[in-house]
Amino acid sequence: MIQERLADPAIAEMPGREALPRKSGELVFHDEWERRAFAMAVSLAEQGRFAWADFQQALIAAVAEAEGEDPLTPSRGYFESWLVALEAVLADKRLLGE
């Protein structure tokens, strides 16, 4: 039976290195700020403040930057890169003003 789904697969099922961290399918948030940062990006995209694809590209760039030479020892965690991407997109769309 295929269930109705509220989550956007474009977000929930991002492929590759930018894929959401999961453990047996469940999202992994280590700290509350990670959850809040996740919610801000998702909520802003839902409202059409930016396209998810734009955020995703910024996230891919931030993750690649953090991984540098060695993907196994990134310079920062996944949601720190997420925050970098969020700030980049907010600045690009001038959502925070000057």
Our CB check for another protein shows the closer of 7 and 69 to be 7
Our CB check for another protein shows the closer of 33 and 53 to be 33
Beta pairing partners, 27: 22
- DSSP type of residue 18: G
Contact residues: another protein, CB under 8 A: 1-3, 5-7, 9, 11-13, 15, 19-28, 30-33, 35-40, 42-44, 46-47, 49, 67, 71-74, 77-78, 80, 83, 86-87, 90, 95-97
Our CB check for another protein shows the closer of 3 and 69 to be 3
Select from 85, 12, 9 the least CA-distant residue to 54: 85
* Pairing mode, strands 22-23 and 26-27: antiparallel
The CB-of-52 to another protein minimum distance in angstroms stands at 12
- DSSP string over 45-70: HHTTSS-HHHHHHHHHHHHHHHHTT-
The CB-of-1 to another protein minimum distance in angstroms stands at 6
The CB-of-57 to another protein minimum distance in angstroms stands at 19
Looking at residue 78, its amino acid is: Y
